[in-house]
Each structure stands twice: as C-alpha cells, then as structure tokens.
A and B are shown apart, each in its own frame.
Chain A
Amino acid sequence: MTRRGLVLQLAILAAGVAAPFVFPGHTVQLAVLWMMILFAMTWDTVGGQMGYNSLGNIVFFGFGMYVCAVTQIGMVYDVAKYTAATGAIKVDLTNREYFDGLALGVVFAALAATAVAAILSRILFGLRGPYFAIGTLGAAIAAAELTASWSYVGAGSGIAMPVFPGGPGERERFFYFTFLAATVLCFLFLRWLYGTRFGLAINAIRDDEDKAEALGLHTVRYKTIAWCTSAFFLGIAGALFGNMNGFIEPLEVAYPTLTFGIFMVAMTLLGGKGTLWGPILGAVLFYAIQQVTWTYLLGWQYIALGALIIVNVVYFQQGIMGWLKDRKPKWFGVRVEAAAGDDGRGGS
C-alpha cells in the first residue's frame, strides 16, 4: 500500500469515528451510510469482480435479520407467543442479557446467511447472465412473500425487537459504531481477498468462465465462497439494522427488493463495478443524493430512483471509477498498447 493510500484510509476512519459526535442528530443516517457502503462492496464481490449480477442479495440481509431476532427473543422467551402478541409483550432484559443475545444473534445471523448462500449457490450458479439475475430476483421475492405468511416469525405484522438498555442517544451511537466496525472489517477482508489467488480467479470467471473451467479451476468452489463472503457480511448488516430499527417486518425492512435490494446494484454501478473503491464512492454519492433529495421529492422518489438507474446504465454504465480508468489508465496501473499493427512476434 502506498503511503498516500494509508493516510487517506486513516483519514476516512478518523472522520468515521468523529462523525457521530460532530453530527449527533444524524447518527442513524450516518450508520445507514456505512451499511450502504457495505451493501455496495458485498454486491460488487459477486456482481462486479465475478460478473454474476445478482438482484437478490437482499435475501441474506433479511435472513440474517430474522435469524438474529429469533435468537435474541428465543433466549428469553417463547418466540411463537412473543410474535403472536405483536409487540404487546415487553421483556425486560438486563444489560448482560441484551448484549449476550445480540452478540449471539449477530453470529448466528452471519452463519445462517452464509449457509443460505451456500445452498443458493448449489441451486442458482448453473444459471448465467440474465437468468441468474432473474433467478436471484425470484429468490428475493419468494423469501419476502414466504416470510410474510409465516406466523412463527410474526408473518406480515413483523417483530418488535428487544429494547436497547441504554439511555437516549446511546442506542444510535452503539449501532453506529458496530456498523462502522462491520464495514471496515468487510473492507479489509475484501481488500485482502482480492489480493490473493482468489481475487484473480473470480476475475477470470468474469472474463471467460469456460476458459477458466478448461484450465481446471475449481469454479464452483470459487463462486460459492464469493457469494458466501457477501452473505456473511450482509447477514451481520441485517442483524444490526433490525436492532437499530427496533422493528422488523418482511416487505419493507427485511427484504426490500425495491429499495436496499436495488440500491446495492445502483450504487455499485454508479461508482464503477469491479473496483475496490468504486462501490464505496458510489454508495457515498448515491446516499448523499438520496438523503438530500428524498424528502423534497414528495412521492416522486421512486420514479427518480428508477430514472437514475436508467440514466446510469444507459449513459454512464462504466461508473465513476470505470470512467476514470478509461481516461487515466496509468492511475490504475493499466497499460495498453500505443500502436496496433504488431505482427505477433512480440518481444522476441
């Protein structure tokens, strides 16, 4: 890593740590910003780096959220009775009980989401290109609809999450820092991962999967692990978001295909897919625009979102990083031949 890169990253981290104290009124929005960055980075692992465009990564987020909720409640109460009362039951938890439950819930959420990704890999990775996108979209819709009719987890009326034991402002700050930690961890992990053989292998799968198979790569193994990595972090994000939100339900909070589910894709495309920093840049920009304009659009938000996606893919599909790469290839260490017309003898 260059010195400049290290300084930049430390500066971002410092800003991240300071932010909730500088803007105490916006802690939740800032926490969601980190979640958006995590969304975009994990989408890019499979969609950008490996070329498998998923429209259903939100499944892991929602699944993690529900697994965490059931774990937390199940530790102290009967889940079916709790959800049947739709929030009428309040369970008083000691600090110890709450944080034990949360910690265990997050761990279970991450593991369960990873397991779901492993199963879905078996089912869906025989599909390529648009079929994969449609299949994953179908999986996301199915997950939302099935959860909405499963009364054990509260069906469509959802679950009221255990109440955070701290005073005012502490809850927001606590979840802000857990989101910050999860996202930084995710970034460090992915940066390391892309630097190993694994990174090159998933790029090879994106470029030409048949050729990769012909060279003997364990393509199924790589694809499964890539998706499981995404799912692991998305499961954590889902668990945290459910608790930060205080209330979870299937269609709008856990499996929102039309908001978070499509944001993941839009943010990554905006920033430039297949790069480490593109998704981060895209997420920050997208979220900033969304926060500023969303409330002023008076019901037109989703039309604006759809229009943004269209404009993005039609006119600016290489994204910010891709655009920079085209203009300034040297910044990215890419070399292209200056003049064509070489006859194949190469450097001999």
Chain B
Amino acid sequence: MSAPIIEVVGVSKSFGGIVANRDVSLSVAQGRITGLIGPNGSGKTTLFNSIVGYHPIDSGSIRFEGQEISRLNVQKIARLGVLRTFQQTRIFSKMNCIDNMLISVPHRDSELGDMFRPYQGALRDKAEHLLEFVGLYAKRRLVAGTLSFGQQKLLEFAMALMNEPKVLLLDEPTAGINPTLINGLIDRLKRAHSEFGITLFVIEHNMRVIMNLAEHIYCLSRGELLAEGPPEQIQNDQRVVDAYLGVH
C-alpha cells in the first residue's frame, strides 16, 4: 500500500450534545481511490467537513502530506490541494460555465498582483478542455443556474479538476443523477484519477458504484469506524450489512 496522503487520527466532533464522529481514524492512500460508506447520519459528511476545515474538531489530528491541517481554515486547506464537492451541488449559478471554470483556477501560489491580471488564453483553453471532458462543452456559454441538476453536478466536478487538487473529496457524486448516467460518471471519475493523478476520497450511498470504484473502503456507523478493507471484504462483512439494515 502506498503512503497515506491524508491521515485522520482519533478525530471526534460533536454538535451540542450529539456526537457526530467519535475517535475516527483512517487514512487515504496516495494515488488511490478510497471509499467512505455508512448509513444515513453515520457522520460521513461531518468527517469530510472536518478534513476540509469547515469546522474545528474537538480532538484528534488530521494530517495532509504529514502536515497538521486541523487548525487551518477552509481556504488554506483548499490551497494546499485538498478540495471537496458538495452533496447539494454548489456552483456559481449566475455566471456562465466558462466563468465558473475560470474562477476555479488553483489559488495555491497566487500573489497579490495576480488578482488584477486577466485570464490568459491557456487557462481558457484548459477550461474548455475540461468542460469537454465532462461533456459540457456545447453549454459552455450558458448561465450555470439554467443547467439541469446532473449537468450542474458535472460542472462542479469539472471545476474541481480545474483547481488541480492533490486529493478530491467527493460527497455522493451520484446522488440525484439519472441511473442511466451513473456509469458514464464512474468512468469519468476513474479517468480523472488515472489521467490527472488525483487521489479520490468518495462518500457514496450506491453500493454498486462504490464497490466498482474504490480500492479500499471505510464504513462508518453512528459516528464510529465500523469496518475497513477492500471492497470484497466489506461487501461480505456481517457488521456492515447489519449497520445498513439497522440491526445495530
């Protein structure tokens, strides 16, 4: 197994009296596709939010490439190269697709002067290329808010690729998408992974999708880590089956 790019060690997070994550430890391997599953309310999205710095954690440690990031805020973590997509797809709905792509350029080493520069042709080419990759090239001049839900989801994915992250955290990429399109999306995720070398960390409800996609899977239940292992092993783990059926 290759070196971990994200290491989560003993992370706990509660809201008021409700414990969302309790002592969760896991690691995302560099250059792999890692899955995160669990029944509704098991704390998957909370863990994602903790990793990308959306809220402070109560205890534990989160390291990215060996650097402690649990005390950094969202922007700083994003600039390090950890990017997430949202469960409720979020795009800039009043801008057209190209502008949505251009605003997503990496801000990693952007200096003060950069904000007053126009976008060069190379960036526009890249934006168009990525829109073509997700199949939105023909819609590139449309206002993003007028796209269908599935198209918005693809646009958000393309924006994430434009940002050139090292790790991409995808929160339910297939939720709300027409089942006939899911295979195409999986294909694109895999291609993004292989062509751009982006490590993926995916929350997914659809078992068929995650078993097909991920090389290593973690399962959360009631905020705690329940099981981990390769897809075949998780699939046959009685505890995971019980958690999903609500036996716990």
Contact = CB atoms under 8 A, between A and B. Distances in A.
Q: Do chains A and B touch in the complex (CB under 8 A)?
A: yes
A198 interface: yes
Nearest to B185: A344
Nearest to B99: A200
Contact of A216 (B79, B93, B99, B153): B79
Contacts of B154: 344, 346
Given A216-B78, A217-B103, A336 B151 contact: no
Nearest to A217: B107
Contacts of A334: 96, 143
Contacts of B240: none
Contacts of B117: 196-197
B52 interface: yes
B74 A221 contact: no
B118 interface: yes
B166 interface: no
Contacts of B177: 344
Contacts of A100: none
Query: For the side of the interface on B, what is the size category?
Result: 35 or more
A225 B114 CA distance: 13
A4 interface: no
Given A217-B107, A335-B141, A335-B143, A346 B102 contact: no
B142 A340 contact: no
Interface string B51-92: 010000000000000000000011110110001101000111
Interface stretch (A68-76, A206-214, A232-240): A206-214
Nearest to A274: B94
B171 to A, nearest CB: 11
Contacts of B90: 208, 210-211, 214
Contacts of A221: 112, 115
Interface string A182-221: 0000000000010111101101101110111111111101
A193 B116 contact: yes
B110 A218 contact: yes
B74 A214 contact: yes
Given A204-B92, A215-B104, A344-B153, 16 more contacts: A197-B116, A198-B115, A200-B99, A203-B99, A210-B90, A216-B83, A217-B103, A218-B115, A221-B115, A337-B139, A342-B148, A345-B135, A346-B135, A346-B139, A347-B135, A348-B135
Closest 9 CB pairs of A and B: A344-B150, A347-B138, A348-B135, A216-B78, A207-B92, A346-B135, A216-B79, A216-B107, A346-B136
29 contacts: A196-B115, A196-B116, A196-B117, A196-B118, A200-B99, A208-B93, A211-B91, A212-B103, A213-B73, A213-B74, A213-B78, A214-B52, A214-B74, A214-B78, A214-B86, A215-B107, A216-B107, A216-B163, A217-B107, A335-B96, A336-B143, A336-B146, A342-B148, A343-B150, A343-B178, A344-B150, A344-B153, A344-B154, A346-B134
